[in-house]
Amino acid sequence: MRRMLWFKIGDTKLHLLKLAGSFLIVTFMLKVMQAAYNIFLTMEKVRAAEVNPTLIPQFFGWTMSATAYPSSPTAFSLQDIIGVLLTPTADFMLWLGFLVIALMVYQAGKFVFPIEEYEHNVPERHKQAIIEAVRAHREKLAREAAAAKKSYRR
C-alpha cells in the first residue's frame, strides 16, 4: 500500500513530490550550467594569463613573486592552473550531485521503498464496540459542554 500526496490547483491534481522535484531539477540544471560556464571562463582566464602574465592579479587576485618562482617569476605553472580550476570544478560536481538527488525526488513515485503497512483485520463485533464507545464519549462531551455553557450564562 502506497500513499501519495496530491496538490490541487483548480481542477488539476499534481503529485507533490513530482512538483517539488521538477522545480528542483530546473533549478539545479541551471546551477550545473552556470558551474560549467565558470569552468570554461576560468580556463579562458588561465590562457590569457599565460599569454600576458600582467593580467594574473586582475583575474585571480594574487601575484607571483620572484621568491616563489626564482627561475621564471611570471610563469603560470600546472600547479597554478589546477589550483585555479579546483573551485569551479568542485562547484560543478556539487550541483551535479544535487541534480541527481532532485531526479530521485522526481522519480519517487516509481521507486518502491522497503516500508510496508499492514491492515489488521478486526472482527465486526469489535468494530461495533469501538463505534459505540466513540459515540458514548462524544455524547458525554456534548453534555459536559452544554452544562458548562449553562453555568457560564448564570
CA distance 106 to 20: 7
Which of residues 53 and 88 earns the better pLDDT score?
Answer: 88
Domain range annotation of the chain: 6-119, 122-154
Residue type, 119: E
CA distance 144 to 154: 16
CA distance 46 to 56: 8
Q: Which residues on adjacent β-strands are paired with residue 7?
A: 14
Contact call for residues 106 and 24 (beta carbons, < 8 A): yes
Q: 77 CB contacts (<8 Å, ≥6 apart)?
A: 69
Contact call for residues 46 and 55 (beta carbons, < 8 A): no
Query: For the whole model, what pTM was predicted?
Result: 0.56
Quick: pLDDT tens for 87-141: 999 999 999 999 999 988 888 766 554 555 556 677 788 888 888 999 999 999 9
For residue 141, which phi and psi values (nearest 5 degrees)? -65, -40
